[in-house]
Amino acid sequence: MSTIFELQLFACVARHANLSAAARSLEVSPAAASFALKRLEDRLQTRLFARTTRNMRLTEEGARYLACVESALELLEEGENTLLQQLDEISGVIQIAAPCDLSRHLLLPCLDELKAQYPKVNIHLLISDRPRDLLREPVDLALRFGAPKESELIALPIWEESYRVACASPAYVERHGAISRPEELLDKNCITFQLSGTHYDSWMFYRGEETVEIRARGDHRCDDSEIVKRWALDGHGVIFKSWIDVAADVKAGRLCRLLPEWRGAHVPLYLMVPNRTQVTKTVKVLHALLTERCKLIVEP
């Protein structure tokens, strides 16, 4: 049985009508090419080329054989391309868990783009502010703020410089006035988030070496992060959320950033995967889409 290299060499010599030129094209030495061509002719017990000092001309037998070889090489290339396309294709079910806010303004556009590029992907989206257990629940990946507590998880960074900011609607600021220090929030109506019995009312602010912590107080509290922001948009009070969550609203003028010289707690955003083997091409593509969209959201 002839090797693929011998067939490729034979077709290449026929195309160039020169052994040295064919050897250069295939990146082998002329001696190796000559040996492989002789081995092919010996196996076929047929002279494929009539040789002169300057070129090589196909014999009648060689011309008939070339037609078969070219068809075989075309079929091999077609089969290889088909296999590579199948390996490169993204398909199947992907189950994603994400917080309410991030799902709506960050994740959904990325999933739409993923689906448009790879229509064979089936998306199962689990929206909840309660973190899913990736090691015990049927979840492929999760969008999360903060470094993972589970050492087994793989954290793919989306925006590691994410931080919280205090915001309120223009109407609320007009009614209750602007502020210059975090302590002044104690006189404002703060909208807080509560989840699984934990009340997230400790708001930390940083400016250079200065650190201020306040205990937020107000008459609105919810375990749904989207409603927390909606209340702020409706003018009910001040919220303390990730800049990713509110950047689009601030840029559109729907919210005002309070204390622009201060930054809240550092809350990096990650795409979490249970283990390294589950960092599939689908996950890599989605991670790239999220990273690029996040840059568009957070950058001026």
Residues 255 and 169 in one domain: yes
Helices 281-298 and 243-251, packing angle to 10 deg: 50
Whether residue 300 has pLDDT greater than 50: no
CATH number at residue 253: 3.40.190.290
Residues 274 and 232 in one domain: no
Span between the terminal Cα atoms of the chain, in Å: 64
pTM of the model as a whole: 0.64
Residues 82 and 118 in one domain: no
User: Rounded CA gap, 38 and 18, in Å?
Assistant: 14
Whether residue 156 has pLDDT greater than 70: yes
CATH number at residue 41: 1.10.10.10
Residues 215 and 241 in one domain: yes
Residues 240 and 253 in one domain: yes
Pairing of strands 191-195, 220-222: parallel
Place of tokens 């993923």: 114
* 299 vs 27, residue with greater confidence: 27
Q: Which domain holds residue 273?
A: 92-161+269-298
Using the 3D structure, point to which of 41, 61, 88 is the last residue of a domain.
Answer: 88
pLDDT tens per residue across span 200-249: 899 999 999 999 999 999 999 999 888 999 999 999 999 999 998 898 89
Q: Is the dihedral of CA 136, 137, 142, 147 positive or negative?
A: negative
Q: How many folded domains does the chain comprise? A: 3
Q: How far is CA 97 from CA 90, 124, 133, in A?
A: 19, 9, 10
pLDDT tens per residue across span 127-154: 888 877 777 778 888 888 877 665 667 8
Residues 184 and 259 in one domain: yes
Q: Residue 166, Cβ neighbours under 10 Å: how many?
A: 26
Greatest mean pLDDT among 49-58, 119-128, 173-182 lies in 173-182
Across all residues in the chain, what is the average pLDDT? 87
Using the 3D structure, point to which of 59, 88, 117 is the last residue of a domain.
Answer: 88
